[in-house]
Chain A
Amino acid sequence: MLRTVGRYSLSIVHELGDFALFTGQSFRSALGARRLGRRIVRAGFEQGVRCLPVIVIVGMFTGLVLGLQGYYVLNRFGSESLLGTLVSLSLIRELGPALAALMLVGQAGSALAAELGIQRNTEQIAALETMGVSSHAYLVTPRLLAALVVYPMQTALFVTVGLWGGSLSGSVLLGLEPGVYWSSVEHAVKSQDVRECIIKAVTFGLLTISLCAYHGFNAHRCSSATGARAVSASTTRAVVQSSIIVLAADYIITSFLV
């Protein structure tokens, strides 16, 4: 029993170390990478433009639900005027960065893990290495650097759409004066809240894209499956672990910043 726990713990530590080295190598590879700019733009398009619909839709419904629930709760205390405060702070400090990151993991992260897994299986990654091309620099670095920009932008979009959703349910559907809603938003949000939001978005982007790339890149090392099943298993592991790490990192960052 003790031996099993020890072996399992060691394997986790080993994988964490391997992941840290992988991420470090990916950033280091940026130094000698050729034509990195256009690959970053392409990665930004994949993570940004293709994920726009899901960010807008989920952001809108999150705002609508927050507006509805917030209005009914605040109405009990006669504090409907604070609806803007509740919606904006919830979105900017917690829900915006976390939900946007989870949506990006579901769309861009899973696609990245599956793509790299297939490229590993079909020897495309080995082909890059034999050509003298750094597979990290070509495949991972542009995605990581793009994520550092795309995640905060997508989060900002999510929060903006969410605020409009809150306004829609609070003002249009439930009759709260729009001026009251937007005024409370304006007074509630401080620069520190925006800073916290950006820190979270950048951290989630770095962790999730790196984790998804790590699992796809190492799909051949999957012990439980080979071939297409290994790609499927590594993609699933990438999405599950990324989702957990978003929530865990959210808690840790919040406890340090609050």
Chain B
Amino acid sequence: MGAESNQTMLLSIEGLFKRFGDNVVLDGASLNVPRGSLVTVLGRSGAGKSVLLKCLADVVQPDAGSIHFDGKALGVGDAAARADFRRRCSFLFQSNALFDSLTALENVALPLEQTTDLPDKEIRERSLEALRQIELEAHQDRYPSQLSGGMQKRLALARAIVTRPELVLFDEPTAGLDPLRRNAVFAMIAKYQRQFGFTALVVTHDLTEALIASDRVALLDKGRMCFEGTPAEFSASTDAMVGDFRDSADALGRTLAAIRRGEALQSEDS
């Protein structure tokens, strides 16, 4: 990548490699995330999407490859660069990872309390402001278990944005949700991404919502990024892997039609 394109990229991943035992999960994955954009990484279950995010968040150490954040390399042993990255980046877990023994307000205040020297009054004000922006102020004294699934997701987002990060990583934010909730979560991400101006990197396997909400999409398959571009380019791509993923709903329709006609059963019998 040239120096010119680096200036517009907040995050650049090059040749990331990770294996667990004999299982190669990331096999040279590369990705560029422009500043201020919403980028979605698509892929089947087990394609390595979550591991990619966890390598970025320092939860998992990659075996090889490089990660550049705001033009600076994040070396494994470079504690200062890693600390700076953590300060400017937030991670939204698939499970939300909210502290179940803390109230909504305490959950949001936690990163400010533990990573800044702000006075208690300012921490409370900023936490309440984050809850207000995410429309959860009325539930500030409730525990996560007393909130609905959608509210928990919003609370996790409030906790992620309270430190005013430049980059927010979303790990499967819509996993296990019905279509209406999936739409609501993607709408929420797009809305707050524009409202707060952070760069968002989302991994998901929900194609329709990703194509509508994202500025750019990438497709991860077998640990490699086999497509990177705009949603329009994705829709027009003639790449076989992209076609398979994009047309998976049509393929299901064709299979079901064949089953109804008895063809699939006959072919299985034969």
Contact = CB atoms under 8 A, between A and B. Distances in A.
Interface of A: 34-35, 115, 119, 122-124, 126-133, 138
B111 to A, nearest CB: 5
A122 B114 contact: no
B97 interface: yes
Interface residues of B, number: 24
Contacts of A122: 95, 97, 100
B115 A34 contact: yes
Given A34-B114, A131-B114, A133-B115, A126 B93 contact: yes
B3 interface: no
Interface in B31-62: 57-59
A237 B115 CA distance: 33
Nearest to A38: B113
A130 B91 CA distance: 6
A133 B117 contact: no
Contact of A127 (B83, B91, B113, B115): B91
B222 interface: no
27 contacts: A34-B113, A34-B114, A34-B115, A34-B116, A35-B113, A122-B97, A122-B100, A123-B95, A123-B97, A124-B97, A124-B100, A126-B97, A127-B93, A127-B99, A129-B58, A129-B59, A130-B59, A130-B86, A130-B89, A130-B91, A131-B110, A131-B111, A131-B163, A132-B86, A133-B110, A133-B115, A138-B114
Contacts of B124: none
A81 B41 CA distance: 82
B111 A133 contact: yes
A109 B208 CA distance: 49
A241 to B, nearest CB: 25
A131 B117 contact: no
Nearest to A127: B97
B90 interface: yes
B83 A126 contact: no
Given A128-B114, A131-B114, A133-B114, 13 more contacts: A34-B114, A34-B116, A35-B114, A119-B99, A122-B97, A124-B98, A124-B100, A129-B58, A129-B59, A130-B91, A131-B111, A132-B111, A132-B115
Contacts of B163: 131
A129 B56 CA distance: 12
A131 B90 contact: yes
A126 B95 CA distance: 11
A123 B93 CA distance: 8
Contacts of A128: 114
B111 A126 contact: no
B87 interface: yes
Nearest to A118: B100
Given A122-B95, A123-B93, A126-B97, A131 B115 contact: yes
A131 B101 CA distance: 18
A133 B58 CA distance: 13
Contacts of A138: 114
B261 to A, nearest CB: 43
Query: Among the interface residues B86, B97, B100, which one has the most CB atoms of the partner chain A within 10 A?
Result: B97
B16 to A, nearest CB: 18
Nearest to A132: B86
Nearest to B56: A130
Question: Lowest 9 A-B CB distances belong to which pairs?
Answer: A132-B86, A127-B97, A130-B91, A123-B97, A133-B114, A131-B111, A130-B57, A123-B93, A126-B59
A138 B110 CA distance: 10
B162 to A, nearest CB: 10
A122 B101 CA distance: 12
A35 B100 CA distance: 20
Given A124-B99, A130-B58, A130-B59, A34 B117 contact: yes
Contacts of B93: 123, 126-127
A132 B87 CA distance: 7
A130 B117 CA distance: 19
Contacts of B113: 34-35
Interface in B75-110: 83, 86-87, 89-91, 93, 95, 97-101, 110
B30 to A, nearest CB: 22
Contacts of A126: 59, 93, 97
B168 to A, nearest CB: 11
Nearest to B54: A126
A34 B95 CA distance: 27
Contacts of B114: 34-35, 128, 131, 133, 138
A121 to B, nearest CB: 10
Nearest to B163: A131
Given A34-B114, A126-B97, A127-B97, A132 B59 contact: no
A124 B107 CA distance: 11
Interface string B218-258: 00000000000000000000000000000000000000000
